[in-house]
Amino acid sequence: MIPTDVSETADATTDEAAYDRRRLRQWLAGRARADGVERRDLLRMLAATGLVAGLPTAFAAPARAAVPAAAGIVKPLPEEWFTVRGTNAEANFASFADTGHHTPVSRFFVRNHTTTPQLDADTWNMRVWGDGLAGGGRSFTLDDLTSLPATTRSAFVECAGNGRSFFTSQQGRSVSGTAWTLGAIGSARWRGARLADVLRLAGLRRAAVDVLPRGLDGDYVTADGTNLGRVRRPLPVTKALDDVLLAYEMNGEPLPPDHGAPVRLIVPSWIGIASIKWVGDIQVSAEPLFSPWNTDFYRLFGDAYPPEGSAPLSRQTLKSAFELPWNARLAARTGHRLTGRSWSGSGTVARVDVSTDAGRSWRRARLHDAARRADWVRWSLPWRPTVTGPTALLARATDTTGHTQPTTTAYNTQGYLFDAVVRHPVTVT
Ligand SMILES: Nc1nc2c(c(=O)[nH]1)N[C@H]1C(S)=C(S)[C@@H](COP(=O)(O)O)O[C@H]1N2
Ligand SMILES: [Mo]
């Protein structure tokens, strides 16, 4: 069930309390350790819990007109590279065959809740504020950020709903949300300041638990007219201090408008919503923070999950895709080179196995990139088909945590984190 009315104060309070209890349970059980949470943080969390009921919960505000389809994206969206889905543009994964490790900006998918704002980098500034700081906080201009030590790293950004359409086409379940195939991902070289440095300069206190970056794009209004305010999602301070960037460059160029100019967060290995674009301010809090993006969205709801949903989603899952058109036709008795990419939000990709006979037999693909965390690896496999007719190609990755892509993914109402092996139809002629 998807909660639709987040302005209902009683429900919101209950959800928040449940969320908080769940976080505490996880920490007590040591299950959040992978994200760097230490036991001494528990004491802070316990102290903070009592304050949850007093948090503001109302999001009710007048509705706005709906945004016309894809009107809000600035860059060109040629049909061979993109499929427009509402306010979003999915990359055509087959077209990645002629790109290198990194996805050019011109091919990078766009996921916008509303429209791309065109901000002036010269006047932009970002306020860091809240009771998790000592003192009154601090504002940063773009110059301030570029004068800090710069970090460059390669990382994918992938929507939590990437692969969502396969819940329906492979598993026969309908789910809500954009019906992405596998093109809601791209990998780029990001350059920026460390969020950790910015938080320390702003006066981070040991009592801080959550940071809440907020975008400068317009308020997000749901289909039923509820205004949820500006796009924002809390991030635990432990992750914020670990490897998060405030990126101002993408593939060696200033960040382009559609991808968050002048400054966006890059939260490596985590679901795309964590990487807030067009950052306008960051709240730093000594209490857990909540927004619809970590209570109603980006959790798993459904029969397999508690009523308040799973814990807020963090890491991406494991996936693979062929760089080949859907229903591609391949000549028999000819040597082909199948190529594709695999990626994981946990550990790195250790191996990829490919089946060219709909899953009956498997061969190990050759990997073409050194495995790196939060990034994808390219792979290839030679294939000389002999049997003509329709068949399915399957790619199945295993990561260094020992996780292998399963045959099916447990259903969740909003279709997040599809990790099952995708059956890619082709015809041998
Ligand atoms: N401010 C803001 N940040 C945002 C979004 C948004 O709509 N507004 N979309 C999020 C989602 S859901 C995803 S998947 C990624 C997509 O990043 P991209 O458009 O650069 O590919 O941005 C995230 N950051
Ligand atoms: Mo997303």
Segments of the chain assigned to CATH 2.60.40.650? 319-428
Which atom of ligand 1 is the closest one to the Cα of 161? 14
Query: Partners of 156 in the beta sheet?
Result: 187
Mutation choice for ligand 1 from 275, 293, 314, 416, CB with most ligand atoms inside 8 A: 275
Mutation choice for ligand 1 from 277, 296, 313, CB with most ligand atoms inside 8 A: 277
| 409 Cα: distance to centroid of ligand 2 (angstroms) | 18
Band the pLDDT of 348: cuts 50, 70, 90: very high
Find out whether the beta carbon of 159 lies less than 6 Å from any atom of ligand 1: yes
Find out whether the beta carbon of 261 lies less than 6 Å from any atom of ligand 1: no
Better pLDDT: 40 or 175:
175
**Proportion of the chain above pLDDT 90, given as a percent:** 83
Band the pLDDT of 223: cuts 50, 70, 90: confident
Which atom of ligand 1 is the closest one to the Cα of 110? 19
Q: Is the pLDDT of residue 4 over 60?
A: no
- Mean predicted confidence (pLDDT) in 143-155: 98
Q: Is the pLDDT of residue 349 over 90?
A: yes
- Mean predicted confidence (pLDDT) in 149-162: 98
What is the number of H-type helices and E-type strands within the chain?
A: 7, 21
pLDDT given for residue 184 in this prediction: 98
Q: Which strands make up the sheet holding 389-399, listed edge to edge?
A: 328-330, 423-428, 389-399, 349-355, 363-364
Residue 78: name the closest of 115, 107, 110, 114 by CA: 107
Is residue 340 within 8 A of residue 264, CB to CB? The reply is: no
Q: Is the pLDDT of residue 306 over 70?
A: yes
Q: Is the pLDDT of residue 385 over 80?
A: yes
| 269 Cα: distance to centroid of ligand 2 (angstroms) | 13
User: Which ligand minimizes its atom distance to the CA of 157?
Assistant: 1
User: Which ligand minimizes its atom distance to the CA of 416?
Assistant: 2
CA–CA separation, 288 and 114 (whole Å): 27
Which atom of ligand 1 is the closest one to the Cα of 158? 14
Q: Is the pLDDT of residue 11 over 90?
A: no
Find out whether the beta carbon of 157 lies less than 6 Å from any atom of ligand 1: yes
Q: Which two tokens stand for residue 362?
A: 């498997």
| 350 Cα: distance to centroid of ligand 2 (angstroms) | 26
User: Which ligand minimizes its atom distance to the CA of 218?
Assistant: 1
- Mean predicted confidence (pLDDT) in 344-352: 97
What would the pLDDT profile of 74-120 be if each residue is shown by its tens digit? 999 999 999 999 999 999 999 999 999 999 999 999 999 999 999 99
CA–CA separation, 345 and 160 (whole Å): 11
| 400 Cα: distance to centroid of ligand 1 (angstroms) | 28
Average pLDDT over all residues of the chain: 87
Which atom of ligand 1 is the closest one to the Cα of 260? 20
pLDDT given for residue 65 in this prediction: 38
pLDDT given for residue 19 in this prediction: 43
| 271 Cα: distance to centroid of ligand 1 (angstroms) | 10
Radius of gyration of the chain (CA): 22
Q: Is the pLDDT of residue 406 over 60?
A: yes
- Mean predicted confidence (pLDDT) in 220-240: 96
CA–CA separation, 187 and 378 (whole Å): 11
Q: Is the pLDDT of residue 8 over 80?
A: no
Please give the class, per CATH, of domain 1-315: alpha beta
Find out whether the beta carbon of 217 lies less than 6 Å from any atom of ligand 1: yes
**Proportion of the chain above pLDDT 70, given as a percent:** 83
Residue 170: name the closest of 366, 420, 371, 369 by CA: 420
| 275 Cα: distance to centroid of ligand 1 (angstroms) | 6
pLDDT given for residue 3 in this prediction: 35
What would the pLDDT profile of 45-56 be if each residue is shown by its tens digit? 333 333 222 223
| 116 Cα: distance to centroid of ligand 1 (angstroms) | 10
pLDDT given for residue 70 in this prediction: 57
Find out whether the beta carbon of 231 lies less than 6 Å from any atom of ligand 1: yes
Q: Which fold has domain 319-428?
A: Immunoglobulin-like (2.60.40)
What would the pLDDT profile of 264-281 be if each residue is shown by its tens digit? 999 999 999 999 999 999
The greatest distance separating any two alpha carbons of the chain, rounded to the nearest whole angstrom, comes to: 72
Q: Name the amino acid, one letter, at 243.
A: D
Residue 297, Cβ density class (10 Å: 0-12 exposed, 13-18 middle, ≥19 buried):
buried
Which atom of ligand 1 is the closest one to the Cα of 265? 24
Segments of the chain assigned to CATH 3.90.420.10? 1-315
Residue nearest to atom 5 of ligand 1 (CA): 112
Q: Which two tokens stand for residue 130?
A: 């809240």
Q: What is the DSSP string of 116-176?
A: -----TTT-EEEEESTTBSSS-EEEEHHHHHTSPEEEEEEEEE-TTTTTHHHHHTT-----
